[in-house]
Structure 1
Amino acid sequence: MEIVRTISAQNGLGFQASRPSLACRRVSRLNPLTRVSASTQTLTIESTQTHLSNLEKLLQKQVPPPLQYNTQPPHKDSGNGSSPEKMVRNLFENLNLTKILPDNMKAAAEEMSPRHMNRLQRLLSKSPEYSPRNNLGSRWREYHGCNDWVGILDPLDENLRREIVRYGEFIQAAYQTFNSNPATSDDKAPLPRQVSLPDKSYKVTKSLYATSSIGLPSWVDDMAPDLGWMTQRSSWIGYVAVCDDKREISRMGRRDIIISLRGTATCLEWAENVRDVLDRVPGEDNSGQVQPAKVECGFLSLYKTPGSNMPSLSESVVEEVRRLMDLYKGETLSITVTGHSLGAALALLAADELSTCAQEMPPIAVFSFGGPRVGNRAFANRVSNNGVKVLRIVNSQDVITKVPGMFVCEELDQKLRDNEKVAGVVNVLDNMPWAYSHVGTELRVDSKMSPYLKPNADVACCHDLEAYLHLVDGFMASDCPFRANAKRSLTRLLHEQRSNVKKLYISKAKDLRLNLDNLQAVAIPSCLPSPS
């Protein structure tokens, strides 16, 4: 079994894991980087063919076709297609290790195979291939939630998977734009921001700002003049974009208006997050209602508070959507509001207000990632009654999706409501200050299902947006494992969550010479899932 031992001395990346013996160094076919004379190589090939023939006879199997090798010394680029990489690939294919090795060694052989390494290298590539887009014209309303996504979530429809990931990447563009220039000034109106959209068929029409109502003492700014954006009340939080490409409009079946909102980033936004007392929704007629609609105080503050030189987020969103509706009057339109974390909460408030800002509104859908609870059950009913469709993408390990509120377990909450004997108790609980309830339809993923993430991934990883998109890309159904043909690049995930990725893939990324330390300055495109 000398030939098998020699192969196992190499790892799946094509270089020797330990120092080979003198005999191994003379066998150039297993080490294509070693140069030998043509005569020596010819003798060695003949010897190997004889050895393989004897080996197959011992295993009582048919002798495979003779191995074909180039008898010329290998060069880096010989011009005749006999590169070292091709010689290694031919060697693995001709040996057919999965047939001659024992069962307990087949997994290792697969790890070493060029096919496996090509797939991993593609997933770690900075420029992965984009999958084709299917035509959604006849079913766009279904993908936009007209039937609450019944029948296409579990198992997850391939076209819907692509749409979800695409909306998530619009949120990533909001994060990148904010991080490139987080500061704003209270003395003058902000300048337009350049947003690098992942989908070039869309154009940005409006920058959005959120303002905290929390007032800081002047001595805070005096003590921390260099922290600027950490103490500022107003911050760039997202944008409005509209599809402006005729071919894409035809593919989607309508002209789509997107409102994309990032998550918490500044200190005052964190402070607003913990103001979790429920406040009444302003402008609502609560007469005759047993339970008025209420939302979290901090979220409402960020949504409704104007800045010194800018309107509130609420005013900006409504004004811009009305303008676009007038501009494209007569066309088939849709409104998609998407956000992550705090952005998911604000997206729900924006969608709820938009649903009542005109008599005839286009279909409105919310795609939220890792969103917290926003209001009470009366608010959830209000959103549903106004025709807003909400798809919440939730990681089972993400604690942010379980706050604020008293009921940590949604299933327990529902069981209490289904039990008529405790209906009176539930009504009392609904009117308590922290009686929160989720809104809409849920798509539940789990970070433990990923073959790349550690089972004990930390809280930050379970809430990370890129981790969410990675899990959605690999999700097939609640009772199925991570799909083997997932095509989203792992590069950004390795960079942002290195400590939560299994060591096996960290080491392979290093072996592939992927510099994870310099990726923050690189715009990394992400591979969207294909309908396969």
Structure 2
Amino acid sequence: MWKEIQGSKNWHDRLEPLCPLLREEIIRYGEFVSACYKACDLDTSSKRYSSCKHGKKNMFKEVGMEDCGYIITKYIYATTDISIPAKGGAWIGYIAVSSDKETKRLGRKDILVSFRGTVTSREWMANFMSSLSPARLDPNNPLPEVQVESGFLSLYTSVDSSSKFSQKSCREQVLSEMSRIINDEYKKGEMSITLAGHSMGSSLALLLGYDLAELGLNYEVPITVYSFGGPRVGNIGFKKRCEELGVKVLRVVNVNDPVTKLPGVFLNENLRVFGYENIELPWSRACYAHVGVELALNFFKMKNPAFVHDLEAYLGLLKFPKKKEKVIKKKTFRGRTAKEDNFVGSAWKSLLTLQNIDSWPWHDAARQVGNLVQSLGI
């Protein structure tokens, strides 16, 4: 049954109503993503800002997940080629494998890669780079029609020689470790590859899933992406190629979350012209498209706009689907101590810091994008 829960049948008849076992798995993988935020130093005044506060052996214990059943094998760092005065490589996630006990419970060895969302100034800038670029991740099969958002691609493939953590790109770090684990575990028993992320992290998870499948490094081991509040990553060509390669994606989406509607506000998979939706139009390659199956949630908080994108709010609604929204809000925002700097606060601090630098050429463009999103009511 685990294969169906991981999307072997595209979650047919599992979403409406939501299968209890699938709900548990979505929450479980969401907690692994939440661990990225809890373990990351989000204090912008700290010398270790954007680094992990704990070692690999103790990280799960320190964030309250000691009995999660996974062992971390590698930390992941990412940077971008954007030239702004900011720290280089930042800790963005980790790779873990299920323990023998957890493997027995799950029915397979699970290789997990978890990514957090946007925190640093460079990452915010990458989010605003909404132009499409050919992915070209397989040198032997360039596929120019497969295009992805340039900012996400930069975070995935860039190196920073000045940083000891990012002298290899995020891509190189992950593919090397994944190849090692798969080669060690392949043919020992059934396996799964699970990639999970929130916001920008979900984009990196999808890029990784596509990359593994395109290069054939997964050896036909099923790849599943759990995306929480994820934006569009690539064009229609990218979507079609992911489907051809068998990459399964479950998109957990708050219908009021504007991030899930970007990029591609106008040119996207919903574009219909004169009813010829099945015809390849001249601008089809420029259309962004979501990949996978959507699980829609619905929550909103007028006084805290960032609430609609908060991962803890997503998980709160999944954990307590019959609770009133007011209860979820209270749990999400009042349950944290003043000392704990959560993602929402840190992210908005970073964005406000960027917005105060009026001399930067992208400042007005970013502000206009924000005004556009607001005016469209999305």
* TM over 0.5, shorter chain: yes
Closer, same or farther: CA 155–359 of 1 in aligned 2, 3 Å: closer
Could you give the per-residue CA deviations for residues 27-60 of structure 1, whole angstroms, max 9, x where no partner exists?
xxxxxxxxxxxxxxxxxxxxxxxxxxxxxxxxxx
Q: 1:406, CA displacement in angstroms?
A: 3.5
Matched, 1:195 2:49: no
Structure 1 equivalent of residue 365 of structure 2 = none
Matched, 1:473 2:311: no
Aligned pair count reads 325
**1:365-376 → structure 2 map (5 Å cutoff):** 365-376=224-235
Matched, 1:419 2:278: no
Q: 1:399, CA displacement in angstroms?
A: 0.3
**1:347-366 → structure 2 map (5 Å cutoff):** 347-355=205-213, 356-358=215-217, 360-366=219-225
2:169 is aligned, of 312, 326, 350, to 312
Could you give the per-residue CA deviations for residues 439-465 of structure 1, whole angstroms, max 9, x where no partner exists?
0000001015xxxxx5x3643000000
Q: Distance in 1 between matches of 2:218 and 2:197?
A: 25
Q: 1:516, CA displacement in angstroms?
A: 5.6
Aligned partners of 1:398 and 1:459 also within 8 Å: no
Matched residue of 1:151: which SS?
coil
Q: Distance in 1 between matches of 2:267 and 2:256?
A: 13
**Match of 2:148, as an amino acid?**
V
**Match of 2:39, as an amino acid?**
T
Matched, 1:520 2:340: yes
Structure 2 equivalent of residue 242 of structure 1 = 97
Q: 1:429, CA displacement in angstroms?
A: 2.6
Structure 2 equivalent of residue 398 of structure 1 = 257
Structure 2 equivalent of residue 332 of structure 1 = 190
Matched, 1:439 2:291: yes
1:168 is aligned, of 13, 20, 30, to 30
Matched residue of 1:205: which SS?
strand
**1:31-70 → structure 2 map (5 Å cutoff):** none
Gaps of 5+ in 1: 1-138, 221-230, 449-453, 476-481, 499-514, 523-532
Could you give the per-residue CA deviations for residues 305-343 of structure 1, whole angstroms, max 9, x where no partner exists?
123233111111111111111222322110100000000
Matched residue of 1:469: which SS?
helix
Matched residue of 2:181: which SS?
helix
Q: Which protein is bigger by CA-based radius of gyration?
A: 1
Q: Distance in 2 between matches of 1:418 and 1:324?
A: 50
Could you give the per-residue CA deviations for residues 414-440 of structure 1, whole angstroms, max 9, x where no partner exists?
xx27933x655x6223133xx211000
Structure 2 equivalent of residue 257 of structure 1 = 111
**TM-score, normalising length: structure 2:** 0.78
Q: Distance in 2 between matches of 1:383 and 1:459?
A: 32
Structure 2 equivalent of residue 462 of structure 1 = 308
Structure 1 equivalent of residue 237 of structure 2 = 378
Q: Distance in 2 between matches of 1:358 and 1:153?
A: 30
Closer, same or farther: CA 462–208 of 1 in aligned 2, 3 Å: same
Q: Distance in 2 between matches of 1:295 and 1:358?
A: 20
Matched residue of 1:442: which SS?
strand
**Match of 1:332, as an amino acid?**
E
Matched, 1:208 2:65: no
Counting strand residues as a fraction of each chain, which structure ranks higher? 2
Q: Distance in 2 between matches of 1:467 and 1:311?
A: 34
Structure 2 equivalent of residue 31 of structure 1 = none
Matched residue of 1:146: which SS?
coil
Structure 2 equivalent of residue 346 of structure 1 = 204
Closer, same or farther: CA 390–191 of 1 in aligned 2, 3 Å: same
Closer, same or farther: CA 266–161 of 1 in aligned 2, 3 Å: same
**Match of 2:227, as an amino acid?**
S
Closer, same or farther: CA 407–458 of 1 in aligned 2, 3 Å: farther
Matched residue of 2:59: which SS?
coil
Closer, same or farther: CA 270–378 of 1 in aligned 2, 3 Å: same
Could you give the per-residue CA deviations for residues 339-360 of structure 1, whole angstroms, max 9, x where no partner exists?
0000011100011111124372
After superposing on structure 2, the runs of 4+ consecutive aligned residues of structure 1 that deviate more than 6 Å are 285-289
Structure 1 equivalent of residue 353 of structure 2 = none
Aligned partners of 2:95 and 2:112 also within 8 Å: yes
Gaps of 5+ in 2: 343-378
Closer, same or farther: CA 457–442 of 1 in aligned 2, 3 Å: farther
**1:289-308 → structure 2 map (5 Å cutoff):** 292-308=145-161
**Match of 2:182, as an amino acid?**
M
**TM-score, normalising length: structure 1:** 0.56
Matched, 1:279 2:133: yes
Structure 1 equivalent of residue 3 of structure 2 = 141
Q: Distance in 2 between matches of 1:472 and 1:408?
A: 31
Q: Distance in 1 between matches of 2:339 and 2:19?
A: 32
Q: Distance in 2 between matches of 1:423 and 1:161?
A: 34
Structure 2 equivalent of residue 177 of structure 1 = 39
Matched residue of 1:242: which SS?
strand
Matched residue of 2:156: which SS?
helix
Q: Distance in 2 between matches of 1:418 and 1:387?
A: 31
Could you give the per-residue CA deviations for residues 277-317 of structure 1, whole angstroms, max 9, x where no partner exists?
1000124579897x701000000000001232331111111
Q: Distance in 1 between matches of 2:8 and 2:122?
A: 37
Q: 1:180, CA displacement in angstroms?
A: 6.3
Closer, same or farther: CA 423–166 of 1 in aligned 2, 3 Å: closer
Matched residue of 2:76: which SS?
strand
